Amino acid sequence: MKLIKCHLSRFIPHHYPVMLDDVWKFQEFLFSNPRILCLTGAGISTESGIPDYRSEGVGLYATSKSRPVQFQDFISNPKIRQRYWARNFHGWPHFSSVQPNDSHRRVAEMEQNCLLSAVVTQNVDRLHTKAGCTNVIELHGTAHEVICMQCNYRISRYEFQETLKGYNEEHIVKPIEVRPDSDVELTQMQIEGFFVPPCPNCFGVLKPDIVFFGDNVPKSRVDKVFNHLEESDALLVLGSSLYVYSGYRFTLRAKELNKSIAIINIGKTRADHLADLKINAKLSDILKSVKC
């Protein structure tokens, strides 16, 4: 069987065509489980042009030496905050304009047809909401909101963009590369001089409402997902390697609860050994092939 090289998005890994047998098995999974909890990862957004981190050959880790900012570094180091917000400022216009793809719309259709109990996403792009999903749990937060680390101040990322623009009117650069969490690659010279304002309420540190690497998902959010899982018949994982524990834990709990688990992802995942059904395919290819 020949690998497909995707020309629609350079962020989609090479993959095999969907097998008819996989379509039948996935259709049976949907018919056998009236209420499914859906967990999505970066792989569902690559078809919208947002890269992931770990896909072989095309993910950020395979194409760049840069790594995501760590929570403690962001909090403790003003220079790292300056670098983060400078890159985020220049990446935001593109990132915020990205639109849902066929897979997002298909998931929204499944939710509207009451097949899904909830949609839990590891992504911060809010594309599920743009596609029409109404019951979305943003496990890692969202890039669309900015919060103060010291008080309850909160501002939309769109509004904060105008604030940053006001302080950095002459900071014009040509970004090098878009990244998964809405920022871009900039050189150190391009970062110099960028001003990041403090919280207007308490002069504290402003941060996107995202769970950075090295930080923890709020317990209340995790418990909410566990509650949905207990009330569901099965767990469906779409486009996630489940490499990080924040998502992997839900496959472990599903197994403990004797729930059916289906995983659709290009390449191996951390939970392949737990899955009742694993399909190695591009999401839109398999999702558009079934009735729901």
Which amino acids are annotated as binding site, given as ranges? 41-61, 122-125, 148, 151, 199, 202, 239-241, 265-267, 283
282, 12 in Cβ contact below 8 A? yes
Count the Cβ atoms, other than its own, within 10 Å of residue 8.
12
What secondary structure does DSSP assign to 194-252, as a single string? ------TTTS--EEEEE--BTS---HHHHHHHHHHHHHSSEEEEES----SHHHHHHHH
Distance CA 277, CA 108 (A): 22
Q: How far apart are the first and last CA of the chain?
A: 28
Supply φ then ψ for residue 24, to 5 degrees.
-65, -45
* Runs of H (alpha helix) within 98-218: 102-112, 127-131, 157-167, 188-191
Which tokens sit at 4? 């497909």
- Binding annotation for Zn(2+): 148, 151, 199, 202
Catalytic annotation present for 140: yes
Residue 17 and residue 2: Cα distance in Å, rounded? 8
Q: Find the length of the chain.
A: 292
53: closest CA among 248, 239, 264?
239
- Which one of 140, 144, 171, 228 is the catalytic residue? 140
**Do the beta carbons of residue 282 and residue 6 sit within 8 Å?**
yes
* Element counts in the chain: helices (H) and strands (E): 11, 9
Characterise 291 by phi-psi region: left (phi > 0), alpha (psi -120 to 50), beta (else).
beta
The residues assigned a catalytic role are 140
